[in-house]
Amino acid sequence: MIDLHCHLLPGLDDGAKNLDTSLRMAAIAADDGIQTIVCTPHILPGVYNNKGPDIRQAVGRLEDAIGNAGIPIRLLAGADVHIAPNLSELLRNGQALSINGSRYFLFEPPHHVLPPRMDDHVFGLQAAGLVPILTHPERLTWIENNFGLVKHLVRSGVMLQITAGAMLGRFGSRPKYWAERILDEGLCHLLATDAHDPERRPPILSKARDAAARRLGEEEAVNLVYRRPKAVVENLPVAQVPALPQPIADGDEREKTSFLAGVLRRVRSAM
């Protein structure tokens, strides 16, 4: 498996606090079957003022430490990039990082407030040749009233990444509901850990992969944790990224079908 979203670098943000924590997290990930981790500290000006060159150096240092500890994990550089008016320029000049230097980058909007004209902002990034990967849409509180926008973004070429822990209910019932709905409607491209520590938010991906396999089948589960992430880190053209599964139906009928399917699953699980 390949984990595209992990706060593994020590001391750069609200993830791993020190090297010992990073090594513990790397060992957990390796035991879980993760072979590659993209290190993605926050880039949020005024809060986490990380810069591309510093992140790359931190990845090199941690990679040496992980190798010395005998942990079989490959590290790549990236960032969890927050919305900014000059974002395409920052990505172009390397002050903000895409995933492994590719056209794909993790794009984190505000959790509780929908940015004005977000679709226009996304279009500008795409016009610059970039492919935004919208992180953890299931945990954005504004998805409740703006799911149509999320679907529109996917149709326009934005990729969606669901957090593994949300699939398991670690963030509460609403994020779990939205994670499952996004999966069921064929809108999710990627699963990632978004790990921050060894205990509360560990780098474990296999349980969410198995949950996805039960819902969508083994083939799509492998797409979520390996084939699509591999295409991203190798910077393949979008046309060569494995396609999303076809949704059951279109428009209102698709939403009704997804809702009824969810109700049926809950009834069966209660029996």
119-131 pLDDT per residue, tens: 999 999 999 999 9
The pTM for the full model equals 0.90
* CA–CA distance, 3 with 239 (Å, rounded to integer): 21
* CA–CA distance, 237 with 155 (Å, rounded to integer): 17
pLDDT (tens digit, 9 = 90+) per residue, 71-125?
999 999 999 999 988 999 999 999 999 999 999 999 999 999 999 999 999 999 9
* CA–CA distance, 174 with 151 (Å, rounded to integer): 18
pLDDT (tens digit, 9 = 90+) per residue, 212-260?
999 999 999 999 999 999 999 999 999 999 999 976 444 444 444 444 5
Burial of 224 (0-12, 13-18, 19+ CB in 10 A): buried
Architecture of domain 2-270: Alpha-Beta Barrel (3.20)
Q: Is 197 in contact with 142 (CB distance < 8 Å)?
A: no
Domain boundaries, the chain: 2-270
**C-alpha distances in Å from residue 66, one per residue of 60, 171, 233:** 10, 29, 20
